[in-house]
A and B are shown apart, each in its own frame.
Chain A
Amino acid sequence: MDNIKLEQSDPNFRSELAQQPGGEIFSTCLMCRTCTATCPITKINDTFNPFRIIRLALLGLRKEIFTSDFIWLCSNCYACQERCPQGVNIPEFISILKNLAVKEGYAPAGTKAQMNFIKGEGRIYPIDEFDNKKRNKSGLPSLPTSCEVVKGLFSGGKDSERDP
């Protein structure tokens, strides 16, 4: 068990989180651990532990949350949210942490790569003629090889095609 490094605590972190839409309710968490006992990810990898993450956030340990990769392990299955006796929407809270992490430049390499794919190609997985050939072979229709609409979203809508 590690010591809690309170000297690294950022006292504003808690209020910063509470100001995010949906972030206000997380401070009602009373550490009952129902979320952790319900989490299928904790069973596999106990560095991901929802109640520990909430505790870290309440203690203002911003850097510890952002520099480790455990928040990115959440699969958004909502099992914890279903069980929480305080009605804390934990997956939404983890998403808030992920968004802040990206804003501050802490996204893991894989997530950054996915983001760039979507920006460039409009999809996580770019489709080319080879994929369409395989699809056709299995009786599936071709898919467009570019996705300008999504690309447009990231360029502020300038290049997007508008529906008539």
Chain B
Amino acid sequence: MSTSKIIECQLAIIGRGMAGMASAFFAANRGISTVQIGITGEIIFASGFLDLMGVHPVEEKKSWRDPWAGIDALIRDIPNHPYARVKKKGIRAAFEEALSFLKEAGLPYYRRKERNLEMITPLGKVKRTYCVPQTMLSGVRALEEKRPCLLVGFRGLNDFSARQIVATLQDKWPDLRATRISFPDAGHVSELFTGEIMAQTLELSKNRKKLIQAVCPHVKNAQAVGMPAIFGMYRTQEIVKELEEKIGVPVFEIPTMPVSVPGLRLNDAFARHLSLKGVRHFSQSRVLEVGRGSNGGFVLGIGNKTTEYTVRAKGIILASGRFWGRGLYADRRRIREAIFDLPVYQPRDRKGWHREDFLDSRGHPANRAGLEIDDSFRPLDRSDQPAFETLFAAGSILAHQDWMRMKCGSGLAIATAYAAVNAFLRLNG
């Protein structure tokens, strides 16, 4: 560690997923000098929807139209759920700040404050969520009113089928039609992949012109047109506006299977705007060593394979995610926390990790394993005291939640990041 460059900061955030990004902007908005460490997070696989609270109890698959009522019921039944510690007031404030950050970063979102929206998925299912990118709003409205609508797919884009969506939804939405056209500037390749290269193709006006020419003859009686989410990486609002003017009806994006452009846009909007706000990030970096500083803070050795920098920080927010993000890992016996070896709440032994049925509607106990925390979002040690004065945790690494089944992933990340940053400020103000 001694030969690497030293960086001083107040707060080091470990993680580049939604919770890490949210922690970074809450910290930046509060004037805290911040360093963010981590490899590319799962955000690039995100649909772009921001869930707040969808399903509870999971075994009944009870879906909530009013997410706030859902949170009330959740906190009543699972008093250890991280939402119980942020409280509704905190969750609301966190979302306000998150959405205004994203708007500032050029990625406006749409929500109805008191109820969940419904939008179609790339498989033609209808999903309830709290916020959708502005570019999907016309899709929410078209679905609500079951307006005559055209879905457009592209030849060579094998993981998006407009026909499949129509086939799945035809009973509920008889006026939905599908067509398949050639994607501009792609005649020479046999397969297309949703991602930034495809999105960038539509940043060129000559390609948009070709797209509009190809779509127009199919519109007929349609009052809205939906396409896979590939309307540019950076000038998306402008592109949608132009398509709507030329095609003559509202145009909307439908999320795609990963890799998803709305996910890449989220990732890039965060990265760009956080760097403008002074958050330092070292690309594809990991925490390789960790120690205590002389002033009660932490010393982290970070780099990709070998330690390149030493970060001295007063506090840390651990937003390193679960198994995919490598925040948690499972050995032959136990589920462990990867950096500090903090105690992990989990079933007594490996036999209890999973239920007999893979698709058991209750989910699996391993999915609710994670870090237990105090009211200041500090992970607890074996004696139920904060493990360190200034170590905080946020996001999916926390115990007593099953964000995938409860459909509360983004909300959990944003709300707990907000609480963790505020707790850091309160304890180190």
Contacts and interface: CB of A to CB of B under 8 A. Distances in A.
Interface of chain B, helix or strand or loop or mixed?
loop
Given A42-B189, A42-B193, A34 B284 contact: no
Interface stretch (A6-14, A61-69, A78-86, A150-158): A78-86
A37 B198 contact: yes
B324 to A, nearest CB: 8
A32 B159 CA distance: 12
Contacts of A89: 304
Interface string B190-227: 11011111100100000000000000000000000000
A58 B305 CA distance: 22
Nearest to B260: A37
B286 interface: yes
Nearest to B39: A87
Interface in B224-282: 258-259, 264
Contact of A34 (B44, B188, B191, B286): B44
Contacts, number: 61
A46 interface: yes
Given A33-B259, A85-B39, A87-B284, A46 B189 contact: yes
Is the interface on chain A under 10, 10 to 19, 20 to 34, or 35 or more residues? Answer: 20 to 34
Is the interface on chain B under 10, 10 to 19, 20 to 34, or 35 or more residues? Answer: 20 to 34
Contact of B259 (A37, A40, A81, A82): A37
A133 interface: no
A56 B229 CA distance: 30
Contacts of B189: 42-43, 45-46
Contact of B197 (A43, A45, A84): A43
Given A46-B190, A85-B44, A34 B259 contact: yes
Interface in B18-72: 39-42, 44-45
Contacts of B305: 22
Contacts of B195: 33-34, 36-38
A87 B264 CA distance: 16
A86 B326 CA distance: 10
B304 A38 contact: no
B283 interface: yes
Contact of B40 (A40, A46, A84): A84
A46 B197 CA distance: 12
A33 B193 contact: yes
Given A32-B45, A34-B259, A85 B193 contact: no
Interface of B: 39-42, 44-45, 188-191, 193-198, 201, 258-259, 264, 283-284, 286, 304-305, 324
11 contacts: A22-B305, A34-B44, A36-B193, A38-B259, A42-B193, A45-B189, A82-B284, A83-B264, A85-B39, A85-B42, A87-B304
